[in-house]
Structure 1
């Protein structure tokens, strides 16, 4: 009688704590209260503590509004800058006009094309792994892999699930609402190039706006400079307050073109400051071999090395593409010569 009770007790415990590994399908006998466990064969990690991380509609709506606003801002800077700046440029030589027209058109095209490539290129890279059956999964093939219950697919340790995009991203850096897309392994290069192009183009727009503003700004008059000269050199606050008062009084005499130039100066300076800080942060994280998600401590991916080898490794694929294009062009030239 006692032996039957012991057999029934052992069978009950076995059925209660038997779990199935999602990676290889192996049945595992685990201790009680084990919501997270790792398979000893394939290395897959099973996490039964589900969290509600479903995508929300308001995040996608926010992204669409910000992307639309950014596109309108870029078009305003281009069109408004041409309308406000180039009447001043046209007063100079013909060569000066042609140079700045070509520069403006080139910067505008490459910046907009770079923005479109980052915004519409999928950040999710395909991950082809065999899973689900012990016959197809080798030992250690899914080491530290987890299962994404929202995508219904295995998730590499280097992957992170984005709630806004609703997919897992390899080497995810962050989700950028201004482009409405995630930044990951598939489009991180293009994002860095886009930031660099924005810095260069915006610097050019800022310099041209300053030059045009100084050319058409109303004269401050001798009274303003006389009141500043009467102040002591150590009275810095007084000097800046007098200059600000003189500039504000002169701003009342500005035309519509002058007001647009003033707005372009302020907007381009603000954008330049923010984009430079973002680009510096991105390059710093690349130098350290980490992503922003890793920097915030959401997962322990990335490398422990820091140095210029990370920069070279990051741009290695871009260099390969560049060399491939150059090699194709040279082959085409040789064929044409023959």
Structure 2
């Protein structure tokens, strides 16, 4: 690494027979580089310069924005459809069984709906995280090490911290960027990562609840199944089991022809909720595993992530969700106070 020209009292220069002179973008001081050096780190401010890096044209930026808005609108419409459609299909049946049972499930529905919509709104409409503004460009204002490991973003035309990444879909740098999610139309970064994970948790719980209530309500309005078990006489073993399953499936499909609109909606809600459970559970598990490892999705993919010593610990999860005092510490304090009372 080459060093920049510095004040008279300190010298960071290097001597070489084939040196050439350039300037550091971070502090503006002159840097003497050996021939062929394209990537260098300033010895004064610590900024990293890559002279080979060129600005790429941001193609299809408008189409990315349109795609995100379409996905976001579709998700909002689907969430409202599930909430209001589920209430219309399930709760007349639940309240007809028991008033207290209906009130109990109404409270659960309200809590899950408010939590899911609130966390989704925070993740989608909140800024994902902007890198901190820092002085740069001239020596008197930039102190020694102020831009340590900073690079220059050619798209934003300002310093980019080591924890930031430029998103081509959002058109700006995001601090601690995890990934860009088109379904929320936003990046997942330092400012909304917590809201995004909480949205996944509430969405998984909500889909589990919708699938259970859809089955529960369907059992009360589903038409009776008609079997023709007379043709099963004389069959044994595997043929009997296969024929029995076939008869049950045919009877089930035949009964769907007599379903009301409420029954058809319940069947759709069950299929959609189970499908979403699988996808959201996989995504939630991936997010929690990265948090446990102290990484993000992008840092896990980057080549230098393998060289970093990340500490895998449950404390990473504790810090992420904002629990200042772990459960183990609570129990240890409880045992101490209990011993004092005993003595």
Give the alignment's TM-score, normalised by structure 1. 0.83
Measure the CA separation in 2 of the matches of 1:225 and 1:109: 52
Q: Deviations over 1:64-83 (max 9, x none)?
A: 00010001100110111111
Q: Return 5+ residue gaps in structure 2 as ranges.
A: 1-15, 326-343
Contact 2:18 2:35 (C-alpha < 8 Å) held by counterparts: no
Residue 54 (structure 2) pairs with residue 50 (structure 1) = yes
SS in 1 for 2:184: coil
Matches for 1:216-255 after TM superposition, within 5 Å: 216-223=221-228, 227=232, 230=235, 232-233=237-238, 239-255=244-260
Q: Deviations over 1:30-80 (max 9, x none)?
A: 233333221122111112311416261111111100010001100110111
Deviation at 1:232, TM superposition (A): 2.7
Matches for 1:237-276 after TM superposition, within 5 Å: 239-276=244-281
Deviation at 1:17, TM superposition (A): 3.3
**1:28 alignment partner in structure 2:** 31
**2:3 alignment partner in structure 1:** none
Residue 165 (structure 2) pairs with residue 160 (structure 1) = yes
What is the aligned length?
307
Measure the CA separation in 2 of the matches of 1:123 and 1:176: 11
Residue 103 (structure 2) pairs with residue 98 (structure 1) = yes
Q: Deviations over 1:177-199 (max 9, x none)?
A: 11011111111111111111111
Residue 93 (structure 2) pairs with residue 88 (structure 1) = yes
Report the aligned-residue RMSD.
2.7
Contact 1:209 1:264 (C-alpha < 8 Å) held by counterparts: yes
Contact 2:227 2:247 (C-alpha < 8 Å) held by counterparts: no
Measure the CA separation in 2 of the matches of 1:98 and 1:313: 36
Q: Deviations over 1:275-295 (max 9, x none)?
A: 111111100000011100112
Q: Say if 1:319 and 1:110 are closer, same or farther in 2 by CA, change over 3 A.
A: farther
Deviation at 1:299, TM superposition (A): 5.6
Measure the CA separation in 1 of the matches of 2:68 and 2:190: 21
Larger helix proportion, structure 1 or 2? 1
Residue 315 (structure 2) pairs with residue 309 (structure 1) = yes
Contact 1:54 1:150 (C-alpha < 8 Å) held by counterparts: no
**2:6 alignment partner in structure 1:** none
Deviation at 1:140, TM superposition (A): 2.1
Q: Say if 1:229 and 1:205 are closer, same or farther in 2 by CA, change over 3 A.
A: farther
Instruction: Pick from 43, 56, 80 the counterpart of residue 75 of structure 1.
Output: 80
Q: Say if 1:228 and 1:99 are closer, same or farther in 2 by CA, change over 3 A.
A: farther
SS in 2 for 1:265: helix
**1:39 alignment partner in structure 2:** 42
- Higher RCO by CA contacts (8 Å cutoff, separation 6 or greater): 1
Deviation at 1:120, TM superposition (A): 0.8
**1:123 alignment partner in structure 2:** 128
Q: Return 5+ residue gaps in structure 1 as ranges.
A: 1-12, 321-338
**2:188 alignment partner in structure 1:** 183
**1:336 alignment partner in structure 2:** none
Q: Deviations over 1:269-315 (max 9, x none)?
A: 00111111111110000001110011222663975111112112222
Q: Say if 1:230 and 1:98 are closer, same or farther in 2 by CA, change over 3 A.
A: farther
**Larger CA deviation: 71-80 vs 223-232:** 223-232
Q: Deviations over 1:252-273 (max 9, x none)?
A: 2211111111100000000111
Measure the CA separation in 2 of the matches of 1:113 and 1:26: 49
Measure the CA separation in 2 of the matches of 1:63 and 1:228: 59
SS in 2 for 1:154: strand
**1:138 alignment partner in structure 2:** 143
